[in-house]
Chains A and B, each alone.
Chain A
Amino acid sequence: MPDLEQFRRETRAWLEANCPLSQREMVVEFEDRCWGGTKWKFVSDDQKRWLEVMAARGWTAPDWPAEYGGGGLNKEETKILREEMNRINARLPLFSMGLSMIGPALLKYGSEALKRQHIRNIVEGRIWWCQGYSEPNFGSDLAGLQTRCEDKGDHFIVNGQKVWTSYADRADWMFCLVRTDPAAVKHAGISLVLFDMNTPGVTTRPIRLISGKSPFCETFLDDVRVEKDQLVGTLNKGWELATYLLTHEREMIGSIGQGNAGAGNLHDHAVEQIGLAGGELADSAMRTDIARWEMDNRAFELTAERITDEATAGQGVGAASSMLKYTGTEINKRRHELLVSIHGQRALAWEGDAYDHGLMATQWLRTKGNSIEGGTSEIQLNIIAKRILGLGKE
C-alpha cells in the first residue's frame, strides 16, 4: 500500500518538525497532560503550541470527520499516526472526556446543530466536559437515577444531585443523565442533556478519598435551566446512549496507564530494593509473584491489542470492553499491591520530602477505585455472564 507508506513518511516528518521536545517527555504531573477548557492554565508555551498545531489538523481526534473539525483519517492512517507518535514518545496533545466520551456520542446520536456547536470545540480543547452519571442512591444501579428533568414548554428544568463527577469544579459543560419520564419503567424514562456549568443552580463540592484529595465532586442541580436543543438523541431513549458512553469509559479506565510513582518494570523495582542472590531475586516468593504479575500484564496488553485488531478485521465478540475493564483494573490493583510489598514501609510513608509526600501510598490507594468507577468488577462480570455467556436468561 504505497499511499499508507507515503502517509507514514509525511506524518513522521511533520511530527519531527512540529512536536516540541518537551512534549516528548514522560508525563509526570497531572498538569503535564493537557485537558483543555476555559479554566486550563498551560504549563508551558510548548504545551499550548502542541495542542494548537495538532488541533489545526484535527489530529487531537484523528478519526473524526473533517467537516466538524476532526482529522478525517481512516483506521489504518489513525493507527499509523498513533505508531508514529509513540515512536517519538509524543504526548497526547489533549486528553478529555470530550474526546473519549461525549464527542463520539454526539457524532453517533447528536443532531446536526449539536455537532456543529460542540465537536470543533472538543477537537480544539476549548471546553472541558464532565459527566453527570452516578447519584448518591444509584451507583451500580445507574438506571434507577432520580435527577428530574421537567418539560417547561420552551426549556427544561433539572433538579437533583450527581456524585463522583470528575473535575466538576474545573469543567465548563456537563453531559448529564436525567429522568424525563418518571412513570416509565426505569430504563425507558432516561434522557441525556447538555448544559453549561455556569448555569444558575449548579454547585459543586469536592470529595476527599482515602488517598487524599481527588478529582471527584458532588454536583447539586437546583432548578437548572437546560435549553431544549441540548437534548442528545431522542427523548426517553437516553439509556442506549448511556451504555454506549459507559463502553467508552470502561475502555478508558481499563487502559489507564501506570501510576507515576513506581513507573517502569516491576522487577527493576524489586532488584533495586531487594537485590539478587545467585542471579535470582533474593526473595523467591516475591520473584514468583512478580513473574506471575508480569505474565498477566503482558497478556492483558496483548489482549487489548488483539481486541482492537479483531475490531479492525470485523471479528471479535461484543462486551469485550467489560472483559478488558475487569481484567485491566484488577491487574493494575495487583501492580500497586506488589509495589507496596517491594518498597515496604517506605511505600506507606504519608508525609515528608524523602517519600515524595506519600505519592506511592496515595497511588496505591487510588487504584482501589479502578474496579469501582465506570461499573464495578462485579457489574462487569454480570455483563460478561449475561451478554457473552448467555447466562441467567430464563
Chain B
Amino acid sequence: MALVLNEEQRMLKDAARDFLSEHAPVSQLRQLRDSRDALGYSRATWQQMVDLGWSGILVPEAQGGLDFGHVGMGQIMEQNGRTLTASPLFATAVMGVSAIVQAGSLAQRNALLPAIVAGELQLAPALDEGPHHAPCRVRTRLEARGDGFVLNGEKQFVPDGHSADQLIVSARSAGADADRDGISLVLVERTAPGVTVERVVMADSRNSAMIRFDSVALPRAALLGEPGAASAVIERLTEIGNAHLAAELLGLSMEACEQTVAYLNTRKQFGVLIGSYQGLQHRAAHLFSEIELLKSLVIKTLQALDAGSAEVAVLASLAKAKAGEVATLATNEAVQLHGGVGMTDELDIGFFMKRARVAEHLYGDHRYHLRRFAALSGY
C-alpha cells in the first residue's frame, strides 16, 4: 500500500487543521491552565468535535460511527499535536472506543458506542499503577462476590480520570502481581460508591488522576471481555494508543520545528539573521530529517492497524520509540535555538516540551519500546 494519504484522509487532515487552529489553538490550553479550569478542557470545543464526527471516527457504522479508520484518526491526532488541544479525544474516542470495539459484547457495543458518538459518554483507561508503563504489573484485585465482583486497589496517571463518566480498569482476578495471565478489564462508574478520584494536573496542563477503589461492588455486566484473559486486549489497546500518541508527537515535532525555523528567519544578532549561521542551520536540517523518518513510521503503523496486519505489534513500538526520541530532540532544540526567550512562559515553545514528555511516558517511553521491539524480534 502506498505510504500516502488518500483524498478523503487528506481532506480530513486539512479540516482538522483548520478547525483546531481556529477554535482550539495553544492559547486555549494556556487560558485553561491560567484559569485553573475545573474540567481542564473546553466543553464547547469538545461538542464541536463531536459535531464534526470525531468521537465516532473509530466506531463501526453498525453503532452509528463513521468507521473512518486509524489513518483518519491519526490525521486528527497529528493536527492535535500542533495545537496541543486538551479534549477527551484520546482517552474516549481512541482508547475507550478501541477497548469496547476489541473486547465488548454486542450488548455493550450497542449500549456504549452510540453514546460515545453522540458525545454523551466519556471514558478513561485506567491501566497503570506506577510511574512507568507496565501493563502486567497489576495489583488491583477483582474478586467474585455473589452475582458480581468487588474491586480493590489503586490506579495512577489515568488520563481524563477526574472527568470521565466511566473508567476502564485492568484488575487481577488470578495470579501473581506481574503475571501476564489472570488480568481482567471492568467498566466502573467514576462516581460509584468506594471510588476516590484525586486529580493530578500534569506538567502539560492536562488532566490525569490517581484513583482508589475500596470494595467497589460491580455487577457481572461490568466485565469487558473474558475474565482473566485481558492481557492480549490491553496489549492491542496500548498499541493503538501508542500509534496515535506517535501521530500526535509527529504533529507536535513538526510544529516545534517550523516555529523554530521561523524564529531563525526573524531574529537578528551581530547584524544578521541567526538562520544564516551554519551551526544553527545544520541543527535545524538534522531535526527536519529526523522528523521525515518519524513520518514514515507513523503512516505505516496507522495503515497496518487499518489492515489488521500482524506487524502492528512491532510497528507500534518502533513508531512510539522514534516519536519519543524525535519529540524530545525537537523540543530541546526548539528551546535552545530560541535562546532565552525559549525559556519564557510567554512563548508557546515550553508547552510543546511539556506535552512531548507527558505523551512519551504514557504507555511507554522510547526505552520501553526499544526493549519491547527487541523482545518481539527475538533478542
B4: contacting residue among A271, A295, A296, A310, CB under 8 A? A310
CA A380 to CA B281, docked complex, whole Å? 11
B293 and A382 contacting across the interface, CB-CB below 8 Å: no
Q: Contacts A303-B292, A382-B278, A392-B275 given: A298-B318 contact, CB under 8 Å?
A: yes
Partner of A390, one of B261, B318, B322, B374: B261
Q: Is the CB of A295 within 8 A of B318?
A: yes
B379 lies within 8 A of A303 (CB): no
Query: Contact: A295 with B373, CB < 8 Å?
Result: yes
Query: Which of A294, A303, A391, A394 sits near B377, CB closer than 8 Å?
Result: A294
Determine whether the beta carbon of B289 is less than 8 Å from that of A327.
yes
- Cα of A294 to Cα of B37 in the assembled complex, Å: 44
On chain B, the residues within 8 Å of A382 by CB distance are: 278, 281-282, 285
Q: Which of B292-342 contact A (CB under 8 A)?
A: 292-297, 299-300, 318, 321-322
Q: Is the CB of A291 within 8 A of B370?
A: yes
Q: List, in ascending order, chain A residues with CB within 8 A of B261's CB.
A: 389-391
Q: How far is the CA of A388 from the CA of B258 in the complex (A)?
A: 11
| Contact between chains at A279 and B375 (CB < 8 Å) | yes
Alpha-carbon distance A391/B371, docked complex (angstroms)? 38
> In the complex, what residue of chain A is closest to B1 when comparing beta carbons?
A309
Residues in chain A near residue B296, CB distance under 8 A: 299, 302-303, 305-306
Instruction: Enumerate chain A residues within 8 angstroms of B284, measured Cβ to Cβ.
Output: 385, 389, 391
Q: How far is the CA of A193 from the CA of B274 in the complex (A)?
A: 40
Contacting residues, chain B, for A312 (C-beta < 8 A): 2
Is B374 a contact of A394 with CB atoms below 8 Å?
Answer: no
Choose, from A106-114, A227-235, A280-288, the stretch at the interface: A280-288
Q: Does A244 belong to the interface (CB within 8 Å)?
A: no
Complex CA gap A302/B282 in Å reads: 23
Q: Which residues of A contact B297 (CB under 8 A)?
A: 295, 298-299, 302
Residues of B close to A267: CB separation below 8 A = 374, 377-379
Q: Does A221 contact B (CB under 8 A)?
A: no
Smallest Cβ-Cβ distance to B264: which chain A residue:
A391
How would residues 303 to 339 of chain A score, 1 for a CB under 8 Å from any chain B CB and 0 otherwise?
1011001101101000000010011000000000000
A384 touches B289 (CB 8 A): yes
Q: Closest CB-CB distance, B262 to chain A, in whole Å? A: 9
Say yes or no: is B3 at the interface (Cβ < 8 Å to chain A): yes
A292 and B261 CA atoms in complex are apart in Å by: 27
Interface residues of chain A, those whose CB is within 8 Å of chain B, are 267, 270-271, 276, 279-281, 287-288, 290-292, 294-296, 298-300, 302-303, 305-306, 309-310, 312-313, 315, 323, 326-327, 378, 380-382, 384-386, 388-394
- B residues at A contact (CB < 8 Å): 2-4, 261, 264-265, 272-273, 275-276, 278, 280-282, 284-286, 288-289, 292-297, 299-300, 318, 321-322, 367, 370-371, 373-375, 377-379
